[in-house]
Amino acid sequence: MIHRFNASGRNFVYHSDTAAIFELDEALTDAEIGAELASPESPGRQLPPAGFPLTTLVLNVTNQCNLSCTYCYEYGEDKIVDTENGAQPKFMSEQTARESVDFLLAEAGNNEMVHLTFFGGETLLNFPILKSTIAYGRRRAAETGKHIDFSLTTNATLLRPEIVAWLIDNQVGVTISIDGPREMQDQFRVFKNGTGSYDIVAPKIRDLLRQHTARPIGARVTLTSQTLDVKRIFRHLTEDIGFAEVGFAPVTTASIREYAISDGGFDKMLAQFQELAWEFCETVIAGRHHGFSNVKDTLEEIHKGVSKAYPCGAGLGLMGVSTSGDVALCHRFAGSDDHKLGSVTAGVDRLVQISLLEKHHIDNKTDCTQCWARPMCSGGCYHEAHTRYGDTGHANLHYCEWIRAWTDTCLQIYGELSVRRPDFLNNRISAPQMEAVS
Amino acid sequence: MKHLKPVNQKAHRIADVVAKQQGPPGGQPHFPLGCALVFSPGWEADSTGGTAGLCQPVERDLFDCHTGCFWPAQVPDQLNHAADWTSKCAAAQKDWRNIDLVFP
């Protein structure tokens, strides 16, 4: 399938079968393009090789949180795991955390580099475990001849000077969940008594950003129907707070919730994303940094020509560990018995893993067969699909139009940069980046 | 590739593969060979029992035999001996009389 786009006054095609991008020097029909490419027949559906190495392990070090964000997929109306009265312990033990490190190193196969990410609940509620696990992880990685890298996601409420110092000393990558200026942050990100968290977190984040400069600290924004002012949020977080990178994601929720983004909301979000994306393009061409990470991440995939059989690495190169040590598809399913892949002590149940890989393969998503944006989207997030349709293997049909329009915009920007700043694509975009866990 | 300039990394890899696969240009048939590739709706009769109302002219059938080798034995061999057998027949419905016998 061929998707055409124009950039910088030139004609380009995105070839969906291969995710390759070509510039056309004259008007060709789809058939003529196909003939020039002489595409070999598709090898058909192939599962990843057995024993696919693990790259990233996400540890839910606690399922408790000191905030009560109304939209939260972990505590809100759409939660999967009962974290209050369920079987899962509220905090991960030191023993389980160590076993998780050993599991990661063992499952990493020949991978020399592995990532350990701490997640929650509110990650910093279990700070003692973070400290001991990082020390243990470094020692074990050295013994096994691997490099290990650490990151965490936090709501920033519990940051204090000694934690900041520790983050810097250990070069821990940090992603902060924050929704924007005070009135937007305080709309959903509230304490249990309903008080907003903005005034608590803003000074702490500024402190962190001022001191922790070794690794870029990203802001991760959840967009809802009531906080959909993307540009204003971006300006506030970059200019007023000082974040180098800001990434946005629409709230994961059943469509009936008041905060769910409607079709009209998706249009509004798209228009603002497009405006920011073109601003990114012009800024980069002028040789300066722009922190809109959604466009940067997409450009990186476009540049490589990523063609995905699966929307993400969940259950493959990335897994989530619950507080009890159960291993799940990803951190969003950690603790759910229905999405359990094994445990850090018993290892991965290969039969369960294979059946999930069979089920989630893009070739099983008939809704996606006629879509040109398939190589980049691959049906979208399993957790989103589970929340919307009750089935992790369902394509996320509620945002197809959005994904196609956004991908088309990113392709145009890619074309523009390929003409005007090819050095940016070759040098800046190709560098491997760590995905923020949210 | 003549008119496609690779832009992203994947496209460069594909261009390398295509360059290796392609032999010298020219001499290649313009029509897919082999019956399995050709869909022919059939030419038997229209709703009145005649041939005037078919969606394609009945004379078009000659080309099914010729290039798509639907009945390969009944027409000249367009690959080796009679490549220009239909060269005077641009529109089968009106020019079919220009198609002549071929003597080896």
Query: Residues A301-311: pLDDT tens digits?
Result: 999 999 999 99
Backbone φ, ψ for residue B32 (5° rounding): -65, 130
CA distance A203 to A210: 11
- Give residues 112 to 151 of A whose Cβ lies within 8 Å of B: none
Contact state of A33 with B4 under an 8 Å Cβ cutoff: yes
Residue A209 and residue A156 in contact, taking contact as beta carbons nearer than 8 Å: no
Contact state of A20 with B22 under an 8 Å Cβ cutoff: no
Residue A241 and residue A185 in contact, taking contact as beta carbons nearer than 8 Å: no
Which residue is closest to A299 within chain B, CA to CA?
B8
pLDDT score at A232: 96
Which residues from B are below 8 Å from A432, CB to CB? Answer: none
CA distance A386 to A388: 6
Contact state of A23 with B7 under an 8 Å Cβ cutoff: yes
Residue A425 to chain B, least CA–CA distance (Å) = 9
Report whether pLDDT(A432) > 80: no
* % of chain A residues with pLDDT over 90: 79
The pTM of this model reads 0.81
pLDDT score at B33: 54
Report whether pLDDT(A95) > 70: yes
Residue A151 and residue A214 in contact, taking contact as beta carbons nearer than 8 Å: no
pLDDT score at A257: 87
Nearest CB neighbour to A20, from listed B10, B21, B22: B10
Q: A286-290, A369-373, B20-24: which has the minimum mean pLDDT?
A: B20-24
Q: Which of the four pLDDT bands, split at 50, 70 and 90, describes residue A339?
A: very high
pLDDT score at A136: 97
Contact state of A37 with B11 under an 8 Å Cβ cutoff: no
Q: Output the average pLDDT for chain A.
A: 92
Report whether pLDDT(A417) > 60: yes
Query: Residues B40-99: pLDDT tens digits?
Result: 656 677 888 887 777 777 777 777 777 666 665 677 777 777 878 878 887 777 778 888
Which residues from A are below 8 Å from B8, CB to CB? Answer: 19-21, 302-305, 414, 418
How would DSSP label each residue in A42-105?
Answer: P----PPPTTPPP-EEEEE-BS--SB--TT-TTTSTT-SS-TTTSSS-SB--HHHHHHHHHHHH
Contact state of B9 with A28 under an 8 Å Cβ cutoff: no
Backbone φ, ψ for residue A316 (5° rounding): -130, -85
Report whether pLDDT(A31) > 90: no
